[in-house]
Each structure stands twice: as C-alpha cells, then as structure tokens.
Amino acid sequence: MPPRLPSVAVAYSNLGSVCLEKNDVPCAEKMYRDAVSRLDAYSANSFNDAVAHLKLGRALLREGRYAQAEPESMFGYKYLVANVAPNDHFLVIARKDLASIYDGLHDPAKAAQFRAELEAAAQPVEK
C-alpha cells in the first residue's frame, strides 16, 4: 500500500497544480484525485483536504464538467467558509469557481449568491 501521509498527498496536489498550469487537465485531475483519496483516508476534513477537493473541482471546471466539479468545489467551500477568514485566497477561488460552475449548470440564482459573497468579502471592514 502506498504511503498515506498528508505530506505525500499535498505533494500530489502540488503536482496537480503544475499540470494545470501547463493546461494538462488529465494529469491534473489524476494528481488531484490521488491527493483527495489520500487525504480523505488520512486527514479528512482538514484544510489540505478542502484545498485538494477545491483544486480537483477547478480542473473539472476547466473541462466544462460542471456537474462533477460542483461537489468537489462545494466540499472545499464548506470547510473553508467555516474555518478561514472571509477574504482567504482559497475561499475567494472557491466562490469564483462555484459562480462559474452554477453558470455552467444554468443556475443563475446560485451563481449570483457566490458573486454576492465575493463582493461582500471584498468590502473593507468598518472599525
């Protein structure tokens, strides 16, 4: 059995990002799925697990596979919205991706919800 240490899974996730940067979506999907599988088995519901799901959702979104991208991106979003600051980099990505996914799924109300969250998070906090 291959090692399931979180650091190995994070390495796969990072390799997926390299693949995605090179527009090699099949390679990215494979790396992200491996990362998700390892993290789900070893440290489910962690920040790294959420980010790996989010990245997998982004790869699927790039291919227009909206129905497959939605649960992956939503998994990452749900963890992040409960555990990080509203303007966290990964949470911003999750909201943008989910808005695009719901556009692709022809659900303008849900797309608008995530765009509204983006706008609200971008507003300066009053003191």
Check pLDDT > 90 for residue 5: no
22 SS3 class: coil
Please name the fold of domain 6-122. Answer: 1.25.40
- Helix (H) or strand (E) holding 66, with range, is helix 66-83
Mean pLDDT across the stretch 26-39? Answer: 95
65 SS3 class: coil
Regarding pTM above 0.85, the answer is yes
- Identity of residue 36: V
Check pLDDT > 60 for residue 2: no
Q: Compute the radius of gyration of the chain from its Cα atoms.
A: 15
How far are the Cα atoms of 25, 38, 69, 122 from residue 29, in angstroms, in the given order? Answer: 6, 14, 11, 30
Q: According to the model, what pLDDT value does residue 4 have?
A: 56
